[in-house]
Amino acid sequence: GQLPAKILSTREGQVLELMSEGLQNKLIAARMELSEHTVKVHVHNIIRKLKVHNRTQAAAVYRSFDRRPYGSMHGGADLARFAPSGV
């Protein structure tokens, strides 16, 4: 389960993690210190890259690929870097 890691940029991974927590674009923008417009662009790209139709489906894809046992991903940056070793 590492689909998002191969497809999304680090930034998109961070946006996707916050989306999956149910945050609105405005709140994601504030949390990441980006403009709301920039967040909208990221969200649009995430939805397109994951081949889903809306942010709810994108969040569901994110959660389905986030089954690692060690909890939080510290702001989402780890999603883009994650590569299982010895699996």
Per-position DSSP letters for 29-43, written without gaps between them: HHHHT--HHHHHHHH
Q: What's the pTM?
A: 0.69
- The pLDDT tens digits of the residues spanning 16-73 come to 999 999 999 999 999 999 999 999 999 999 999 999 999 999 999 888 875 554 444 4
Taking each helix axis as running N to C, give the angle between helix 10-20 and helix 55-64, from 0 to 180 degrees, rounded to the nearest 10: 100
**Whole-number pLDDT of residue 41:** 98
**Predicted confidence band of residue 6 (pLDDT cuts 50, 70, 90):** confident
User: Which of 39-43, 76-80, 83-87 holds the top average pLDDT?
Assistant: 39-43
CA distance to 1, 6, 66, 69, per residue, from 31 (Å): 27, 24, 21, 25
